[in-house]
């Protein structure tokens, strides 16, 4: 079992070494802190179902976030982030504890059970501190600046994130998971330090603030000619970091990083880089067969705790599954591998079964735990499996590595060690017959599993995550042609526009009719991206109009004229102790890289040279980072590739435009932008292209079109 952790630690170290190599921080008294990759086992008390703590109620009871509500009956006097807690700390001159986590976080639950439900710990926290609980998924702005502080002070980060701050909110101490006794030591040590050496505490806060501020400084890049050589070097460095056999970045813990797979596959396909293509496909194959993928019910866990994608950290997040739909859809277009089709269909089925709100939107996540145990809902003993599927199923048990002693902590994670075709060949089985057996047995196991106590559902709706799901559904529709996927994408897109957008600004969160947090640039960027995707699968120009409207609000409320990027928080919202503009791409791409790509797309669709120019300026600013580590700046890598190659603007105009678009979109076209409709519409590139009684395909580049054709095969040939 591993502490939940922050993905781009290596990226952080790259950035910090560039920005403040000489920064030195005062060391507080040392305590035993368990961070990132320390493997630990707890007593059975941690595994028991939480006791009812309803004799206590704190300020979190008024919140809608499931994570905050989990702590609403702790004896700790928790506050949500807001003026009440911050002003109280200043008035009473008390240190602030900012404790950040999320509903699906296993180690957040462990620390709550061990410490925050304990009256001794709570009394200490209540006496000396103002304690604030933060749902990092609702408030990524708060999480970002305090995670930066944690990494400056400790070199690492993770969740739960526990930061102790001066009454003005500036950090002086940070860590992740603490066992109860260590947490008590930390609280006493930091309080003693603050009382006896207040000037040193202020100095510590100044240094941390300076470090975070320096980390946030990004200068506008100097214009230069883009070069193929630079892109190739960045790509080769990236490809060489991959695990040759199992895919993903080398290491003992692996994250999917879905959109990075798209970027690398695009590059490898356009430039015939077989090693890059093999790296991406090996990753997708290994994930699809490993335990990170729910072989019984579909959908992906957040990451694997081993190098082979076999043992998952069992929480399931909407943002992973939405983005992985895009990755597998593009790979399916390229390869027509039926495995990818199966993964797409099963993942969408999982999302619609377990994360869909039944109307138009998707919930956030499923917990890693059930009944107080990590993964209990998903794992099996061999006897349990046999009871469900019956005797004489040795091939099935062998295929899924289901052992008498278990393959993980005495139980079995359902996973495969070899592809099904190879397994059948090695074991002299008929492939079609065995596939039917696997499907039948999986359905039986899923039916039985559904009767178990489910992991808790985080039923808040987040704008950016739903936008990523829209994009994934749109890509799945293009790849497979399933009209239900298109309908679902449109329905959720309409929800974002009609519910999360009030005509002046987007909202971040939604639950039970309530939206309490203003959207961040990530929400705008992901929603604009989703609306562009919806235009591409519908040719309804209203989606481009909506995307353009959101882009203009983004410039008004988020644009930073000093660095040419978009701040994470709106200028209409109060700032934290620093203002952030990020360019690095994590599991979810950065708001700025999404914005830069959106400007590129809208610039071409709308013939807006200003958008194209701004996209290039942003890329130039991010370029020094992308050159050094493209895998953590993958959207910038994708934009750089696109800037080097003028796109094919493929206009499809006529009564059968929808059918032709659908056929053309099933092909893998990493250099094409599709547009069109049954009439000429309002886009300049469609002007004068309608031919009565025909549906014509115009393949254009740099505003120059080749002779129109009616056949998709001919259009594809023109793009070669």
Average pLDDT (334-338) is: 97
SS3 category, 327: helix
Q: First-to-last CA distance in the chain?
A: 50
Q: Considering only CA atoms, which of 681, 635, 637, 414 is closest in space to residue 539?
A: 681
CATH topology of domain 4-216: Glutaredoxin (3.40.30)
> What local confidence, expressed as pLDDT, does residue 579 receive?
79
pLDDT tens digits, 137-180 = 999 999 999 999 999 999 888 899 999 999 999 999 999 999 99
pLDDT tens digits, 601-629 = 999 999 999 999 999 999 999 999 999 99
Q: Considering only CA atoms, which of 226, 243, 171 is closest in space to residue 643?
A: 226
Residue identified by tokens 């902590």 is: 409
Residue 611, CB half-sphere, CA atoms under 13 Å: how many? 19
pLDDT tens digits, 221-244 = 776 788 999 999 999 999 999 998
> Cα–Cα distance between 6 and 584 in angstroms, integer?
13
Could you tell me where the DSSP H helices lie in 20-118? 66-70, 83-92, 106-111
> What local confidence, expressed as pLDDT, does residue 37 receive?
33
Confidence tier at 580 by pLDDT (50, 70, 90)? confident
- What is the domain partition of the chain in residue ranges? 4-216, 228-370+458-644, 378-451, 648-718
Using alpha carbons only, what angle is made at residue 530 by residues 524 and 534, rounded to the nearest 5 degrees?
A: 140
Least confident of 32-41, 364-373, 379-388, 506-515: 32-41
> Cα–Cα distance between 139 and 161 in angstroms, integer?
13
pLDDT tens digits, 466-485 = 999 999 999 999 999 999 99
Confidence tier at 703 by pLDDT (50, 70, 90)? confident
pLDDT tens digits, 438-460 = 999 999 999 999 999 999 999 99
DSSP 255-270: ---HHHHHHHHHHHHH
Residue 232 CB coordination number (10 Å)? 13
- Residues with Cβ within 8 Å of residue 325, at least 6 apart in sequence: 344, 347, 348, 469, 472, 473, 475, 476
> What local confidence, expressed as pLDDT, does residue 372 receive?
87
Residue 462 β-bridge partners: 509
> What local confidence, expressed as pLDDT, does residue 581 receive?
87
| Model confidence, pTM | 0.91
Q: Is the model's pLDDT at 22 over the cut of 80?
A: no
Task: Count Cβ atoms within 10 A of the Cβ of residue 518 and give its class: 0-12 exposed, 13-18 middle, 19 or more buried.
Answer: middle
Do 377 and 455 contact (CB within 8 A), yes or no? yes
> Cα–Cα distance between 363 and 319 in angstroms, integer?
10
Confidence tier at 271 by pLDDT (50, 70, 90)? very high
Report the CATH number of the 228-370+458-644 domain.
Answer: 1.50.10.10
Average pLDDT (47-51) is: 38
Residue 666 CB coordination number (10 Å)? 15
Do 139 and 76 contact (CB within 8 A), yes or no? no
Percent over 90 (pLDDT), the chain: 84
pLDDT tens digits, 84-142 = 999 999 999 999 999 999 998 889 999 999 999 999 999 999 999 999 999 999 999 99
Pairing of strands 648-653, 672-677: parallel
> What local confidence, expressed as pLDDT, does residue 36 receive?
34
Confidence tier at 516 by pLDDT (50, 70, 90)? confident
Average pLDDT (359-366) is: 97
- Residues with Cβ within 8 Å of residue 245, at least 6 apart in sequence: 282
Task: Count Cβ atoms within 10 A of the Cβ of residue 127 and give its class: 0-12 exposed, 13-18 middle, 19 or more buried.
Answer: exposed
Q: Considering only CA atoms, which of 126, 136, 124 is closest in space to residue 81?
A: 136
pLDDT tens digits, 59-88 = 999 999 999 999 999 999 999 999 999 999
pLDDT tens digits, 632-675 = 999 999 999 999 989 999 999 999 999 999 999 999 999 999 99
> What local confidence, expressed as pLDDT, does residue 13 receive?
38
Q: Is the model's pLDDT at 1 over the cut of 50?
A: no
Pairing of strands 171-175, 161-165: antiparallel
> Cα–Cα distance between 586 and 88 in angstroms, integer?
35
SS3 category, 243: coil
Average pLDDT (264-279) is: 97
Q: Considering only CA atoms, which of 66, 50, 219, 227 is closest in space to residue 133?
A: 66
Confidence tier at 21 by pLDDT (50, 70, 90)? very low
pLDDT tens digits, 170-217 = 999 999 999 999 999 999 999 999 999 999 999 999 999 999 888 777
Q: Considering only CA atoms, which of 456, 217, 235, 415 is closest in space to residue 310?
A: 415
> Cα–Cα distance between 445 and 402 in angstroms, integer?
13
Q: Considering only CA atoms, which of 329, 446, 463, 365 is closest in space to residue 105?
A: 365
DSSP 29: P
> Cα–Cα distance between 86 and 101 in angstroms, integer?
19
> What local confidence, expressed as pLDDT, does residue 218 receive?
77
Confidence tier at 33 by pLDDT (50, 70, 90)? very low
Average confidence score pLDDT of the chain? 91
pLDDT tens digits, 337-348 = 999 999 999 999
> Cα–Cα distance between 86 and 576 in angstroms, integer?
11
């Amino acid at each position: 079992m591993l502490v939940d952790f922050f993905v781009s630690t290596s990226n952080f170290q790259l950035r910090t070494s560039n920005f403040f190599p000489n920064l030195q921080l005062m060391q507080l008294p040392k305590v035993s802190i368990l961070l990132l990759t320390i493997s630990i086992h707890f007593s059975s008390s941690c595994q028991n179902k939480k006791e009812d703590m309803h004799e206590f109620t704190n300020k979190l009871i008024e919140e809608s976030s499931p994570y905050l509500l989990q702590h609403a009956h702790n004896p700790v006097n928790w506050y949500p982030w807001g003026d009440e807690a911050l002003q109280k700390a200043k008035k009473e001159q008390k240190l602030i504890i900012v404790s950040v986590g999320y509903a699906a976080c296993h180690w957040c639950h462990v620390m709550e059970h061990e410490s925050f439900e304990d009256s001794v710990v709570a009394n200490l926290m209540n006496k000396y501190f103002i304690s604030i609980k933060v749902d990092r998924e609702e408030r990524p702005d708060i999480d970002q600046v305090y995670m930066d502080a944690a990494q400056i002070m400790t070199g690492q980060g993770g969740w739960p994130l526990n930061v102790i701050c001066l009454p003005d909110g500036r950090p002086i101490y940070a860590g992740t998971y603490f066992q109860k006794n260590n947490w008590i030591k930390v609280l006493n040590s930091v309080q003693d330090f603050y009382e006896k050496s207040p000037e040193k505490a202020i100095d510590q806060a100044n240094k941390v603030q300076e470090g975070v501020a320096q980390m946030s400084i990004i200068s506008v890049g100097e214009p230069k000619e883009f070069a193929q050589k630079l892109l190739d070097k960045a790509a080769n460095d990236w490809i060489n970091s991959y695990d040759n056999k199992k895919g993903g970045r080398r290491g003992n813990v692996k994250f999917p990083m879905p959109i990075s797979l798209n970027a690398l596959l695009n590059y490898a396909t356009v430039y015939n880089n077989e090693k890059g293509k093999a790296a991406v496909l090996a990753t997708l194959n290994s994930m699809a067969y490993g335990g990170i993928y729910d072989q019984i019910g579909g959908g992906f866990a957040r990451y694997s705790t081993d190098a082979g994608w076999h043992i998952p950290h069992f929480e399931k997040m909407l943002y992973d599954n939405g983005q992985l739909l895009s990755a597998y859809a593009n790979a399916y277009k390229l390869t027509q591998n039926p495995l990818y089709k199966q993964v797409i269909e099963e993942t969408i089925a999982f999302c619609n079964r377990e994360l869909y709100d039944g109307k138009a939107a998707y919930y956030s996540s499923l917990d890693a735990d059930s009944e107080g145990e990590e993964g209990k809902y998903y794992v099996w003993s061999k006897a349990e499996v046999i009871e469900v599927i019956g005797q004489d199923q040795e091939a099935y048990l062998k295929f899924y590595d289901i052992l008498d002693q278990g393959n993980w902590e005495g139980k079995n994670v359902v996973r495969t060690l070899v592809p099904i075709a190879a397994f059948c060949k090695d074991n002299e089985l008929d492939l079609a017959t065995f596939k039917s057996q696997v499907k039948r047995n999986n359905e039986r196991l899923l039916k039985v599993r559904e009767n178990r106590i489910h992991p808790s559902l985080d039923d808040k709706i987040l704008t950016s995550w739903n936008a990523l799901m829209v994009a994934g559904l749109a890509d799945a529709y293009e790849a497979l042609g399933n009209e239900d996927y298109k309908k679902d994408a449109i329905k959720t897109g309409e929800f974002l526009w009609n519910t999360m957008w009030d005509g002046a600004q987007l909202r971040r969160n939604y639950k039970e009719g309530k939206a309490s947090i203003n959207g961040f640039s990530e929400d705008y960027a992901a929603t604009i991206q989703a609306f562009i995707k919806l235009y591409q699968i519908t040719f309804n120009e209203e989606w481009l109009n909506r995307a353009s409207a959101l882009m203009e609000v983004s410039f008004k409320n988020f644009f930073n004229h000093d660095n040419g990027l978009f701040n994470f928080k709106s200028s209409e919202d109060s700032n934290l102790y620093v203002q952030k503009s990020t360019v690095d791409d994590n599991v979810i791409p950065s708001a700025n890289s999404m914005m830069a790509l959106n400007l590129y797309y809208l610039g071409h669709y709308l013939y807006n040279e200003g958008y194209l120019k701004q996209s290039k300026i942003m890329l130039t600013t991010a370029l020094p980072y992308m050159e050094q580590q493209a895998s953590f700046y993958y959207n910038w890598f994708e934009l750089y590739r696109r800037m080097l190659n003028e796109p094919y603007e493929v206009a499809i105009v006529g009564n059968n435009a929808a059918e032709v678009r659908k056929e053309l979109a099933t092909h893998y076209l990493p250099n094409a932008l599709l547009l069109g409709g049954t009439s000429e519409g309002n886009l300049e590139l469609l002007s004068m292209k309608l031919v009565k009684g025909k549906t014509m395909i115009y393949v254009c580049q740099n505003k120059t079109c080749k002779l129109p054709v009616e056949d998709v095969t001919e259009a594809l040939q023109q793009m070669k």
